[in-house]
Amino acid sequence: MGTTFSSIHIYSPDFAQSFPNFRSFSAGWQTYMPDEEPEDPFVFQKLAKKLSKNTDAPVLWFYIYDSEVLMFEFYRAGKKIATYSPDGYKNLYGIPALVGYDDGQKRRLSNILDCVDMEFQVQLLEEYFGVCLIPFSELLEHSPDFLNRIRSDKLYHEYLAEEKKLTGKQSPIEAALVSEVTGKLFERRFKDADFLSFTPRHYYFGYDTLESNWEEGALRTVRYEQGKLVPISQEEFDAAPKKLRREARVDERISEDFFPVYKVHFTDKAPERLKNKTLVPPRGYSFCWFDEKGRAVLSNGRDGIAIVDETLKIIAKIRVKGRPADYFDGYLLTAGSGSFCGYCFEPSNAIRIYRIYDK
């Protein structure tokens, strides 16, 4: 299990007002250190809003769930004035001024929020804000100095330098968009009698027109190959052997451990260059496919993939539009957020195919 924590902080450089159960560990900040932490983190969210009515200073509520979901909100005078969450954001570029930056720092904040390693993203935010966002009470008792944070950009520039080597013009691998159509994909029919069975590998159902919405039997069957979604008959689909998604994906070429650290063990059935090796993917990424050169393809589950070579080193990170859904024949298939869950046509959802190639 990852880290789950909720915290409240008041940015008050002049200490115009102190509040019960607040302590200052970092310059300009007061942090809420209650005797007991509530089981419901959203109790802190409500408290942050309430506290903001009693001070002119901005109040920050921060929440991370299982090191996978991160959100934070700023309150002033009982009103939410800035927010960030996986569902969206409000007044994001107003945040630098709220925490004492005179000018700039907007691009830096957006770059930090693009980091897919959630725990590292927290470190970057702590360096940016200059406050410990996960102040464990145990640290207060035994090592209070560990709760101190000093504003800097050292970690941030190290992060940018590493990202630059793997992305953009310096990346040895690129993605070229070859097709984009409105539509959604699914791995099984809605209310399929065999609920646990998924489609065969590289086979999908899909909606592609408004007229197909909710029509009986309107889900179209397709096969993904050579950078195309090829329409097929229901008979061909039914004849293909069905497996659970994970079994179909890995073809018994890997095994995985999830606790305490996620690891991928490549068996002797894996591509030659990765046989019998163990990969610990960076946080935010998971193993999904092998490419045509026998390299491992990781996905961040949102908007990108990473390519791992035989030395188990990431050699490229590639940003795309849509969630990575399949990789085959050197082509990446992505789908919109409505795919694989909502059984109706949505014109805002797109299916895209990218050619992934070495420069």
pLDDT digits (tens, 9 = 90+) for 3-34: 899 999 999 877 656 678 899 999 999 999 98
Rounded CA gap, 178 and 166, in Å?
A: 22
pTM of the model: 0.61
Which of the four pLDDT bands, split at 50, 70 and 90, describes residue 209? low
User: Using CA atoms, how far apart are residues 100 and 92, in angstroms rounded to an integer?
Assistant: 15
What values do phi and psi take at 107, rounded to 5? -65, -40
Query: Token pair for residue 270?
Result: 């894996």
Q: Please answer whether residues 35 and 45 qualify as being in contact, where contact means their C-beta atoms are separated by less than 8 angstroms.
A: no
Hey, which bits of 78-233 come out as E strands?
A: 79-85, 88-90, 173-182, 184-186, 203-207, 220-225, 228-231
β-pairing verdict for 228-231 and 286-290: unpaired
* In the predicted structure, residue 220 carries a pLDDT above the cut 60: yes
Cβ atoms 309, 295 nearer than 8 A: yes
Looking at residue 16, its pLDDT comes to 56
User: Which amino acid is it at 84?
Assistant: Y
Q: Provide the mean pLDDT of the chain.
A: 85
Distances (CA, A) of 343 to 1, 185, 188, 287, 340: 31, 9, 10, 27, 8
Band of pLDDT at residue 248, cut at 50, 70 and 90: very low
Confidence category of residue 216, pLDDT binned at 50, 70, 90 = very low
77-81, long-range: CB < 8 A, 24+ apart: 77/52, 77/53, 78/49, 78/50, 78/52, 78/53, 79/52, 80/49
Task: Note the helical H segments in 39-117.
Answer: 42-51, 95-98, 106-113
3-class secondary structure, 201: coil
SS3 label, residue 68: coil
